[in-house]
Structure 1
Amino acid sequence: MEKISLGNSGLAVSKICLGTMTFGEQNSEADAHSQLDLALERGINFIDTAEMYPVMPRAETQGRTEQYIGSWLKKSGRRGDIILATKAAGPSRGISWIRSGQSDFDAASLRSAVDASLKRLQTDYIDLYQLHWPSRNAPIFGQTAFDPGKERPSVAIEETLAALDELVKAGKIRQIGVSNETPWGVAEFIKQAETRGLPRIVSIQNAYSLVNRSFENGLDEVCFREHVGLLAYSPLAFGQLSAKYIDNPRASGRLTLFPPNWSPRYLRPAVTEAARRYAALARANGMTPAQLALAWCYSRWFVASTIIGATTLTQLREDIGALSIRLPEQVVDAVNAIHREITNPAQ
């Protein structure tokens, strides 16, 4: 599988990254180990997780995903074969149990988060350490506009970078990235890093899919010019773009297993209609809906690596296999036509 240098980091990551947020909720430890084995067998060397996982977030399961990866690393002895990424939770979004409700990006909180992740992962270092969402007020997770009325105290970006610098110097993390960020956030992280001689972000992990192409509205240029790689998450829009909920509204998955207020952006009527149209386009061209959605992400020039998640090995094989699909020009044109009619319904 093709490997891409992530920013200017020297980290060579596979074009597909194995997402793991189902480990510990929808997937057992044995399931998790089987997925990790298959991923490496198929050439994937990039594994992404978070201290918050699994989802749906619950106090009693928090950290279990990292634990399952850690037990696999201990059993397999393959730490040197993977690029391991994890994420620190930002200020509480109703997740009061992480770091006793003090989750933020100040030095003490980040030290605590990194040390706990290292222990669960049973490793001495993290290749890519990411900030899961901003400390400051920013439009994320389905918000479509910035709201100054929601301003709140936050940790300054330069303070966060200084804390991460200490963790890099201590050998606990190698590179840093952001997640659920905006163009201003990316630019400010880079400005502060360059002005103060602090670590520079090499990646941004944001949602990107056929129903959320908002990355193309400014972030694509910023990241191109500043050498920041996109790690595209939710390429199947929580399963909507697999058409499983269109074919069977009661299909098992996050949109039926978890409360609707957890992921409302993927339940909007416009998302369902767009997914219906993309599914019809895929099937008319000899593809499954999931293959079209993933092939789209895999082929975008600004996507460094696409994060895929699955609950079965069959799903995982199909997701990986979509990497070999080359979308004909007429299919790309048809995708863009649907996008013009139903623009970013899951933004």
Structure 2
Amino acid sequence: MQKRKLGSSELAVTDLCLGSMTWGTQNTAEEGHDQIDLALDTGVNFIDTAEMYPVNPISAETIGRTERIIGLWFERDNRRDEVVLATKHSGEGMAHVRDGAPISAATIPQAIEGSLRRLQTDYIDLYQFHWPNRGSYMFRKNWGFDPSGQNRADTIAHMEDALGALQDEVKRGTIRAFGLSNESAWGMAQWASVAERVGGPRPVSVQNEYSLLCRLADTDVAEACINEEIDLFAFSPLAAGLLTGKYQVGAVPEGSRMSLNGDLGGRKTARVFDAVDAYLKVARDFDLDPVQMALAWCRARPFMGSVIFGATSTGQVQRALGAAELTLSDEVNAALNAVHKAHPMPY
């Protein structure tokens, strides 16, 4: 398992990360703990969560449950020092969290205290803003995203205030590093610039959706990652399970994400299944497991910090971990790029 140092921080994370968003709805606490045990015993040191988790569905009754499950694991095994732990501050519009209040200097200490209490820890290694106050092009909003209503002065003032509050938390020892999520190239550059100008923790990571089926980060975001020393964390690297092939030919396995969320958050489209067929053919042609192929491809991207995979069983975790030792050949990468050009942006 390879480790990578995140940006300007002292954090070193494995290039595969265990995601947790199903723990508390699709998974019991015991199942979540089994996944953590397996991942850590295989060499993974990185776990990602969020105060709003679990999902599928998100509800007022379950907010914070995933962090509590992780906290119970820390209490049970006392292995906090083996984990680089990342969590997230929910943004504007999440009605179940602080009545949908936007991220601000006032909400940051409240949110951190809540996460620390649920996680049963004194510190968070990487604290991320789940999405920007000004809105985001992620989650299929890129098709109609309109930034014309943004006010630059207000955005910069918010960044200055938020970084001041985060710096207070760094001084208190409650967080070690700061990261972004669902952020744009412009936003990444501004956060870095403001941190250099007025102080506060410089962002070291950005967590955006990225997979063979969703390559929005390949241009502007990738350039910002390289030049600003901000590493990408890929979420949904298997495109909500599409790249496993389990939804082909109309299949909807019982208990799967599609059985709970029929359109997979907008990923289920008329064109996506043909694209998946083409990627599955590459896997067959080169005798590769399609899950491991998709994760290994993400791992090898030059702007990648870590690839976050989620699972609902330890068998799925074990399968995903097989990508750690897989390096794709030039021929495989050429075939994958050919599929991308034939099936660009299928959702």
**1: CA distance, partners of 2:301 / 2:100:** 38
Once the two structures are TM-superposed, the CA of residue 89 in structure 1 deviates from its matched residue by: 0.5
Alignment of 1:65 with 2:63, yes or no, is: no
Q: Alpha-carbon deviations, 1:293-312, whole Å to 9, x = none?
A: 11111222211110011111
Query: Which one of 111, 114, 137 corresponds to residue 113 of structure 1?
Result: 111
Equivalent AA in structure 2 for residue 99 of structure 1 = R
Partner of 2:8: 8
Partner of 1:324: 325
Once the two structures are TM-superposed, the CA of residue 137 in structure 1 deviates from its matched residue by: 2.9
Equivalent AA in structure 2 for residue 240 of structure 1 = L
Partner of 1:36: 36
Q: Alpha-carbon deviations, 1:252-288, whole Å to 9, x = none?
A: 321221253x601x11222222111101211221122
Partner of 2:183: 181
**Where does the alignment leave 5 or more consecutive residues of structure 2 unmatched?**
none
Once the two structures are TM-superposed, the CA of residue 344 in structure 1 deviates from its matched residue by: 2.5
Q: Alpha-carbon deviations, 1:56-76, whole Å to 9, x = none?
A: 211111111000000000101
Q: Which moved more, 1:250-259 or 1:64-73?
A: 250-259
Structure 1 segment 170-249 matched on structure 2, within 5 A: 170-246=172-248, 249=251
**1: CA distance, partners of 2:253 / 2:331:** 31
**1: CA distance, partners of 2:3 / 2:67:** 24
**1: CA distance, partners of 2:68 / 2:208:** 24
**1: CA distance, partners of 2:262 / 2:275:** 22
**2: CA distance, partners of 1:170 / 1:291:** 40
**1: CA distance, partners of 2:166 / 2:90:** 14
Alignment of 1:281 with 2:275, yes or no, is: no
Q: Cα gap change, 1:299/1:7 in structure 2, threshold over 3 Å: closer, same or farther? A: same
Query: Which one of 243, 257, 260 corresponds to residue 254 of structure 1?
Result: 257
Once the two structures are TM-superposed, the CA of residue 116 in structure 1 deviates from its matched residue by: 0.5
Equivalent AA in structure 2 for residue 258 of structure 1 = N
Q: Alpha-carbon deviations, 1:41-63, whole Å to 9, x = none?
A: 00000010000100021111111
In the superposition, the TM-score normalised over structure 1's length comes to 0.94
Once the two structures are TM-superposed, the CA of residue 319 in structure 1 deviates from its matched residue by: 0.3
**2: CA distance, partners of 1:268 / 1:280:** 20
Q: Alpha-carbon deviations, 1:205-230, whole Å to 9, x = none?
A: 01110011111111111111111111
Partner of 1:166: 168
Partner of 2:122: 124
Partner of 1:340: 341
Tell me how large the CA RMSD over aligned residues is: 1.6
Q: Alpha-carbon deviations, 1:106-155, whole Å to 9, x = none?
A: 12211111110000000010000000000113322112254135548867
**1: CA distance, partners of 2:268 / 2:250:** 14
Contact kept, 8 Å, 1:4 with 1:14, in 2: the verdict is: yes
Alignment length (residue pairs): 341
Equivalent AA in structure 1 for residue 24 of structure 2 = G
Partner of 1:19: 19
**Where does the alignment leave 5 or more consecutive residues of structure 1 unmatched?**
none
Runs of 4+ displaced beyond 4 Å: 149-155
**1: CA distance, partners of 2:303 / 2:112:** 29
Q: Percent identity?
A: 44
